[in-house]
Structure 1
Amino acid sequence: MLTFAPLMKKGESFGKEFLIPFGGEKLGKHPHDFEIGKAFFDSGISEVEVLNAAINLLFILEKQSAMLTLHFNFDGTITVPCDRCNAPVEIPIQSSEKLYVKFSQGGFDTTDEVITIADSESHIDLGPYVYEFIWLALPMKFVHDEGECDQDVIDQLEHYNPDDEDDNIDPRWDALKNLK
């Protein structure tokens, strides 16, 4: 999985609650619970309007002697406008993700699932990763199930949608249909 979270501009913040300290933590697993609502998506980064969100995130920081393992477990819903009728549609989210954090004094060789940070760091900002994992858990199209869209909007779309009839084809092109 390719992650773009490290490329987010400095200063784009999702709140201090996602700034997780690990410097003073003992070795082992350290769970954190987060409630992610609409305000999380109001940062202005997304091009999709989020109407509502109720997502539970169980985050587990697993500290080992030479690295960290970050476990993300999402469960909830996000409400966005339907791509077909523009009425609100509630999309369920259930996803589990894992990232590894290693420490370095020099070069930072970050890959898809491995983040490299400086030895001197004592906190990690989860906000960009949480944001990205939520969007990756969503479908490409936000649409209602068949028959649940706003029928008035669907009727208008069908009214203004040109028919795909072959009657309007220029007869000079008919000969091309026979070529194979």
Structure 2
Amino acid sequence: MKALHPYDIELVQLSNKQHEFDYELDDRFFGLFDQTLVNGGHLKAHVTLDKSELLLNFTFHIAGTLRLTCDRSLEEFDYPIDTTQKLHVRFGNEEVELDENVLQILHGAQKINIAQHLFDYIGLSVPIKKLCPQFLEEDENAVTDEDENILIYSSSTAPETDEDDDDEGPVDPRWDALKKIK
């Protein structure tokens, strides 16, 4: 996809040392992905690449604000994020994701595109329950005010004791013999 070319890192042109890249991520960036997680935002991404003969170590630092939709009121609100993630890329005979933070690319790879990684790391920063700040404060206060009124479910009808329970009905005589061993 041609729109993702600004997020290509040309590996052939880079020497084996540390390199730094800066990206501005805005509504156009989020429009490149078919998604409904984020409405837009304004973020800055600082990417550090430590390149060696066999390994590429990326450190992504992403900070700024996202525009999300509140799950309760369906209003848009700004959500601040500040995250740092690491990605390790090694060279091999095939392109495969070995782990969530470890990739393998071909030995002769000329470039690597980091757009999807940037989007994924932003997505990891989005909370599962997206609430406007006023609702978030209400939820936090509700939990602390009602701590005394929490119901704990118990299926037993009587409190547990360490004493022998003789009122449960007839007991198998084999258990009586075992109790005498105490």
Does the TM-score normalized on the shorter chain lie above 0.5?
yes
> Which structure 1 segments of 5+ residues have no match?
1-10, 150-178
Q: Indicate whether 1:135 and 2:123 are aligned.
A: yes
**Structure of greater relative contact order (alpha carbons < 8 Å, 6+ residues apart):** 1
Report the secondary structure of 2:133's partner residue.
coil
Q: Which residue in 2 is equivalent to 1:22?
A: 11
Q: CA deviation at 1:49?
A: 5.1
Asked if the contact 2:22–2:44 (Cα under 8 Å) also holds between the matched residues in 1, the reply is: yes
- SS of residue matched to 1:15: helix
| Letter of the structure 1 residue corresponding to residue 106 of structure 2 | A
Q: Note if 1:67 corresponds to 2:85.
A: no
In 2, the alpha carbon distance for the partners of 1:109 and 1:69 equals 15
| 1:97 aligned onto 2:97 | no
Could you say which residue in structure 2 is the equivalent of 1:88?
Answer: 76
1:35 is matched with which residue: 20, 24, 43?
Answer: 24
Taking structure 1 as the reference length, the TM-score comes to 0.70
More helix by share: 2
RMSD after superposition: 2.4
| 1:45 match | 34
Return structure 1 stretches of 4+ with deviation > 3 angstroms.
Answer: 106-109, 146-149
Percent of residue pairs identical: 20
Q: Could you say if the C-alpha distance between residues 48 and 111 of structure 1 is closer, same or farther in structure 2, counting changes exceeding 3 Å?
A: closer
TM-score (norm 2): 0.69
Which structure's CA Rg is the greater one?
2
